[in-house]
Amino acid sequence: MDTVTTPVLELSAAQLVRNVAAVRDHIAPSRLMLAMKDDAYGHGIAWVLDALASDSALNHFGSFDVDTGLRIRECRPDARVFAWTTSADDEIAAALDAGLELGIGTAEYLQRVISGARGRGRAADVHLKIDTGLRRNGVRPEDWGEFVAEAAKAQRAGLLNVIGVWSHLAEASDAEDDEAAAAFRRAVDAVRAAGLSPRDTHLTASAASWWRPELRGTVCRIGAFCYGIRSADGPEIPGIRPVATLRARVVEVREGEATVGIGALHGLPSVLAGAPVGTPAGVRRIRAVGDVATTMDSWDGAQVGDLVSVFGPGESGESDATALAERIDTVGEEILTRLSSTVQRVPV
């Protein structure tokens, strides 16, 4: 009997390659920046980059923080890597040394990046961020003119290359996104009027890139759809399937109840009673999620060591992580990124 009882996240490189190709075809002529925050949405940065190694058209990656950007850089010495969040001074220095592109969404951060570039003796490649209504990060339209003028001055001094202008959409309603897109276009015009010529403009992530082609810039920052994670309450997308399948093993069977070796400490939400799980005999329901094990309705012939699947393509209970997420009012990304490092990532 197999005594391994840790849960496994099976990862399909072939499916990842297909998803990335489908996304790229759909958004052309806009170019793809693959979003890799949260360890590539729980799939693992190194695995994802390895799986996509033969895709030479994919050479632009996005990370939330500098640390993640540096990990991408280690795997891809020649790729473009964009780290979009505000960072500490030592991270700025490391990012400049590694040739990362930085997202700049406050006047204060702009000054620190300029200082960092002066200290490092090399110009920083930056993407300026306008706040188009999300109010998360980004320079407000009323402050944009002064911010852009400062950036233009630093570019003339050889300390900055303004290579992009960007923002992020709320995706709450089409009308709000339309307003945000109009504010974004005005911001890009102001940057050009200041004598700068950014080659990249980017506003949209998975959902808007897919369904609102008129909002796409020259680049789309896309994570979820590349990993096969559908939007919560969104439809399935032709050609796109989940990359990951979450499986666990039966560790005990008695009196109509099977216990499987996955629980809240592995990152499974503890409120999933009633959720379907795929078993060798078809779908059965979860009874209770414990710390390291979950009880569920058993089946005829259930045996210790049997594999069940919590989500993923194929014969699983829920067809994807988003279906599981919809039960508890969250998004598929969260189901995947919550899975702890004790869940073994297994390429299939």
- Which residues lie near ligand PLP (CB under 6 A)? 35, 37, 84, 168, 205-206, 221-224
The nearest distance, CB 336 to ligand PLP, in angstroms, is 11
Q: Which residue number, 10 or 38, has a Cβ lying nearer to ligand PLP?
A: 38
User: What backbone phi and psi angles, to 5 degrees, belong to 92?
Assistant: -60, -45
Q: For residue 229, which of 315, 317, 319 has the smallest C-alpha distance? A: 319
Whole-angstrom Cα distance, residue 45 to residue 24? Answer: 20
Q: Which residue number, 181 or 293, has a Cβ lying nearer to ligand PLP?
A: 181
Q: Is the peptide bond before 7 cis (omega within 30 degrees of 0)?
A: no
Q: Which residue number, 228 or 267, has a Cβ lying nearer to ligand PLP?
A: 228
Q: Which residue number, 33 or 159, has a Cβ lying nearer to ligand PLP?
A: 33
Whole-angstrom Cα distance, residue 144 to residue 164? Answer: 14
Whole-angstrom Cα distance, residue 242 to residue 318? Answer: 11
The nearest distance, CB 265 to ligand PLP, in angstroms, is 26
The nearest distance, CB 86 to ligand PLP, in angstroms, is 12
Task: Judge contact between 253 and 308, C-beta under 8 A.
Answer: no
The nearest distance, CB 266 to ligand PLP, in angstroms, is 23
Q: Are strands 244-254 and 257-260 parallel, antiparallel or unpaired?
A: antiparallel
Residue 308's beta-bridge partner residues? 248
What is the maximum alpha-carbon separation in the chain? 76
* Torsional sign, CA 231, 235, 239, 242: positive
Task: Judge contact between 243 and 16, C-beta under 8 A.
Answer: yes
From the DSSP assignment, how many helices (H) and strands (E) are in the chain?
11, 16
Q: Which residue number, 127 or 247, has a Cβ lying nearer to ligand PLP?
A: 127
Q: Which residue number, 113 or 258, has a Cβ lying nearer to ligand PLP?
A: 113
b/e burial code for range 90-106 (CB count within 10 A of at least 16 → b): ebbbbbbebbbbbbbbb
Q: Which residue number, 194 or 321, has a Cβ lying nearer to ligand PLP?
A: 321
Whole-angstrom Cα distance, residue 52 to residue 23? Answer: 14
User: Six-digit token pair at 341?
Assistant: 């490092």
In the DSSP assignment, the letter for residue 123 is P
The nearest distance, CB 188 to ligand PLP, in angstroms, is 17
Q: Which residue number, 203 or 289, has a Cβ lying nearer to ligand PLP?
A: 203
Q: Which residue number, 167 or 298, has a Cβ lying nearer to ligand PLP?
A: 167
CA 2 to chain centre: 34
Task: Judge contact between 11 and 244, C-beta under 8 A.
Answer: yes
The nearest distance, CB 166 to ligand PLP, in angstroms, is 8
Q: Which residue number, 70 or 203, has a Cβ lying nearer to ligand PLP?
A: 203
The nearest distance, CB 205 to ligand PLP, in angstroms, is 3
The nearest distance, CB 153 to ligand PLP, in angstroms, is 27
The nearest distance, CB 261 to ligand PLP, in angstroms, is 30
The nearest distance, CB 62 to ligand PLP, in angstroms, is 6
Task: Judge contact between 193 and 150, C-beta under 8 A.
Answer: no
